[in-house]
Amino acid sequence: AKTDVEPPCGVSLINVVTVSEMHEAVMNNLDWSSVVIKAAAVGDYKPAETFQGKLKKNSKEIHLKLERTRDILLDVGRNKNGRIVVGFAAEGENVVENALGKLRKKNVDLIVANDIHRPGAGFGQDTNIVCFVDKWGKVEELPIMTKAEIADKIFDKILEFRKENPIQAGR
């Protein structure tokens, strides 16, 4: 996926362009993972048809048909096999309710949700305002923090999950 950040030493980066490529990369690397943090946002829809070359302006309207893409987080949750799975939700309304629904539907341990309309939250900033919704139904609203501080809090939650089920730590 496109990133402006250099990967840390020891981290392998798999560059992908399409949702299909990302799905394949995630699923091909799932077996050796004990924790999956699915932070990359991908498109939920893609054009049903693609055109080669340039599309000429010879009509006033273009009708674009979209089709659903594969839901990577859902497929990871279906193949969880003791892994700890963390997903993200950028929401415009009903943040906690939508995050809880996503957590249950996708069989994950933690959803990190943010209200994209709140100042200081969202994309293109060094800060965010998130809430954690975990597999026990606990909701924890965090104050505005740097994204690095939020990452630390996510890893704290992962450690909580590992303490609850040490078998997961041995993968």
Q: What is the CATH number of the domain that holds 53?
A: 3.40.50.10300
Token digits of residue 138: 């606990």
Res. 107: pLDDT tops 70 = yes
7-52: pLDDT as tens digits? 888 888 888 888 999 999 999 999 989 999 998 778 889 889 887 8
pLDDT: which is higher, 165 or 154: 154
3 part of a folded domain: no
Residues 6 or more apart whose CB falls under 8 angstroms from that of 82 comprise 34, 165, 167, 168, 171
Predicted structure pTM score:
0.85
15 part of a folded domain: no
How many CB atoms sit inside 10 A of residue 42's CB? 19
40 part of a folded domain: yes
Please tell me the total count of domains within the chain. Answer: 1
pLDDT of the residue at 99: 95
Residue with token string 């992908």? 16
143 part of a folded domain: yes
77 part of a folded domain: yes
65-101: pLDDT as tens digits? 999 999 999 999 999 998 999 999 988 899 999 999 9
For 111, counting Cβ atoms within 10 Å of its Cβ (0-12 exposed, 13-18 middle, 19+ buried), the class is buried
Residues 6 or more apart whose CB falls under 8 angstroms from that of 71 comprise 106
23 part of a folded domain: no
Range of the domain at 84: 34-170
101 part of a folded domain: yes
